[in-house]
Amino acid sequence: MTDTILEMRNITKTFPGVKALSNVNLKVRRGEIHALVGENGAGKSTLMKVLSGVYPSGTYEGDIVFDGDVRNFKVLKDSEEIGIVIIHQELALVPQLSIAENIFLGNEIASKGVISWEQTYKRTKELLAKVGLKESPSTLVTDIGVGKQQLTEIAKALSKSVKLLILDEPTASLNENDSDALLNLLIEFRNQGITSIIITHKLNEVRKVSDQITVLRDGQTVKTLNCHEEEVSEDVIIRNMVGRDLEDRYPPRSVPISDVVLEVKNWNAFHHQHRERQVLHDIGVTVRRGEVVGIAGLMGAGRTEFAMSVFGKSYGHKISGDVFIDGKKVDVSTVRKAIDAGLAYVTEDRKHLGLILGDNILHNTSLANLMGVSTGGVIDDIKEAKVATDYRSRLRIRSHGIYQEAVNLSGGNQQKVVLSKWLFSDPEVLILDEPTRGIDVGAKYEIYSIINQLAADGKGVLMISSEMPELLGTCDRIYVMNEGHIVAELSKEEASQESIMRAIMRSGEKK
């Protein structure tokens, strides 16, 4: 029996200035495992948010047909009620509650508000048996590992008589054994008639369990591959994922590349919470003056962790390794020292880590270099205003002047304010982490132009980006990172989306 359980027809979703999804079609058959693949930002998560009602009906175009009826979900609860359950990458469990309490949170077995613990524990035991989790229902979630937490989430989904289970990167934080167990569980569910959609970057897993694979790219459905009708190799999937042409979206740059300005050697670091987990292994990178160097990788590859640990040990612990600027070993143990050594780090999370949102452009611009506008601890506010005005016009920040609060600026202009701050600190090397995330195309071009100008001024630029075309379009050299290792270093000539993806996939399989 191969009838269709879910059909999403011509889904189009626009955010201010960005078309996130355009005429996406997804057809999932009852009782299959359907994989949804695509690069970061291809629209997978957005599509699932449309499906689950996070983006309520009316905010997108197109139809969702589930079990034969067109559905209009207004809130998440609507989709859950008819059996669609999403398990997100960041688990939605309350750590200080028990497994049983978590499973029935918001859905307690109770009469007149009084919980029946007997029933709760009984049902929990049944559910845990189904997902193969050998833990007591009263164990606190905080005391079990990530793999078991994932199973708890699935048990929670089963408690709601799920028909369609959606897993967003379920194995991203699992080790190999736990991953295998989870995938086998999905296969078992399939035998019981539960349909699953699995979103993942791990193509070997996709091939192992999927019946069909839908590839998304740039918010559009590229292709749906049927694994039973044709031989689907990873190469085929990759080609479909990345197969787009580089358009003329990147300003050209011809800058002489000279001496090495930044060198990081043998850089190791451990996770800031799971203190036994090493997140960076012997990373080594060099950046020359006038050069733009990229770091490619999937989410969770350790790129941001690397940048932040170098920038004043802002991430991780037990950090070891050496940093050299212009061949001289420098101390980067605090952010202040890293700045003084000539580093600047433009964060990927400008709202939480980059800007004082409630404060104005003026104060945000001078924050990292207050010394530059003050004498003896007293701020020369005329000088400060001049600096801010100067950067505002140089970076073409569109605002009502330098007194506008950062919170009221568009994403692109906010990013330019962050850039102003770091340019004013006059670094030798700028580390840019996802510098164009959530920014419209026009502003992207301007950011690339600023990067080119920096290279022309003889600075070194290290750029982390999840958008491969962006790296290919702007970088002279690209490091590929995966699971805390540098797994490849590609020259401009060698680098292509295929070669980067291949380097990531191969390194993942070697283990």
Task: Spell out the residues 6+ positions from residue 217 whose beta carbon is closer than 8 angstroms to its own.
Answer: 38, 39, 42, 240, 241, 242, 243, 244
CB of 270 to other proteins, least distance (A): 20
Segment lying near other proteins (by CB under 8 A), choices 5-13, 228-236, 369-377, 444-452: 369-377
CB of 129 to other proteins, least distance (A): 42
- Are the beta carbons of 223 and 42 closer than 8 angstroms? no
> Phi, psi (5° rounding) for residue 61?
-105, 155
Nearest to 294 by CA among 177, 469, 464, 126: 464
CB of 379 to other proteins, least distance (A): 5
Residue keyed to tokens 């291809």: 42
Task: Spell out the residues 6+ positions from residue 376 whose beta carbon is closer than 8 angstroms to its own.
Answer: none
- Are the beta carbons of 394 and 386 closer than 8 angstroms? no
Q: How far is CA 81 from CA 4, 75, 126, 151, in A?
A: 19, 10, 21, 21
Q: Which of 421, 444, 459, 477 binds other proteins (CB under 8 A)?
A: 421
Q: How far is CA 72 from CA 9, 195, 221, in A?
A: 13, 20, 22
Segment lying near other proteins (by CB under 8 A), choices 9-17, 155-163, 311-319, 434-442: 311-319
Kindly tell me which of 311 and 391 has the beta carbon lying closer to other proteins. Answer: 311
Kindly tell me which of 38 and 354 has the beta carbon lying closer to other proteins. Answer: 354
Can residue 330 be called a binding residue for other proteins (CB under 8 A)?
no
Q: What DSSP string describes 148-217?
A: HHHHHHHHHHHHT--SEEEEESTTTT--HHHHHHHHHHHHHHHHHT-EEEEE-S-HHHHHHH-SEEEEEE
- Are the beta carbons of 352 and 414 closer than 8 angstroms? no
Can residue 316 be called a binding residue for other proteins (CB under 8 A)?
no
- Are the beta carbons of 360 and 404 closer than 8 angstroms? yes
Can residue 410 be called a binding residue for other proteins (CB under 8 A)?
no
Strands 378-379, 374-375: parallel, antiparallel or unpaired by DSSP?
Answer: antiparallel
Task: Supply 68's token pair.
Answer: 């034969």
Kindly tell me which of 270 and 311 has the beta carbon lying closer to other proteins. Answer: 311
Q: Which of 389, 410, 496, 499 binds other proteins (CB under 8 A)?
A: 389
Can residue 331 be called a binding residue for other proteins (CB under 8 A)?
no
Kindly tell me which of 296 and 339 has the beta carbon lying closer to other proteins. Answer: 339
CB of 376 to other proteins, least distance (A): 9
Can residue 398 be called a binding residue for other proteins (CB under 8 A)?
no
Can residue 309 be called a binding residue for other proteins (CB under 8 A)?
no
Can residue 377 be called a binding residue for other proteins (CB under 8 A)?
yes
Considering only residues 334-363, where is the footprint of other proteins by CB under 8 A?
Answer: 334-336, 338-340, 345, 347, 352-359, 363
CB of 364 to other proteins, least distance (A): 9
Kindly tell me which of 386 and 492 has the beta carbon lying closer to other proteins. Answer: 386
Which residues make up the interface to other proteins (CB under 8 A)?
A: 311-312, 314, 334-336, 338-340, 345, 347, 352-359, 363, 366-368, 370-371, 374, 377-379, 381-382, 385-386, 389, 401, 403, 421, 425
